[in-house]
Amino acid sequence: MECGPTIPQVDMSYTFESLVDTVNQSYTLMLDIFNHYVKNSQPLFTNDLSTFDFLQEFRLIQVESLNVYSNLLSGLELINVDNKLDILFFEDEYFEEN
């Protein structure tokens, strides 16, 4: 008999209307994942420090992801999201590799 974590199936059907919508939905997803890590790991902290250490790495990755998306959301606040030239500038500024 094999013992290990159970990973629930995740709904992967997303529809994105625009770049702005993609950034907003992605931030919401990253925040949801982070909140689940926190919620699901809190009961383990007092009983199992090795699990805490293991999960800490994933929480830190989520914090970094949230920071990236938070910067994108802040960038979106600086432009007119209905103006295609502004969207092009935003895309160039935040998504193009230098």
Contact 44, 52 (CB under 8 A): yes
- Residue range(s) defining the domain that contains residue 37: 19-95
Dig out the tokens for 22 from the structure: 């993609």
Q: Write the pLDDT tens digit of every residue in 50-86.
A: 877 787 888 889 899 999 999 999 999 999 999 999 9
Does residue 6 belong to any structural domain of this protein? no
Q: How far is the C-alpha of 89 from the C-alpha of 59, rounded, in Å?
A: 32
CB atoms within 10 A of CB 61: 14
Contact 89, 79 (CB under 8 A): yes
Does residue 37 belong to any structural domain of this protein? yes
Does residue 89 belong to any structural domain of this protein? yes
Please state the domain count of the chain: 1
Does residue 14 belong to any structural domain of this protein? no
Does residue 49 belong to any structural domain of this protein? yes
Does residue 67 belong to any structural domain of this protein? yes
Amino acid at 26: S
pLDDT at 98 over 60: no
- Bigger pLDDT: 26 or 47? 26
Does residue 7 belong to any structural domain of this protein? no
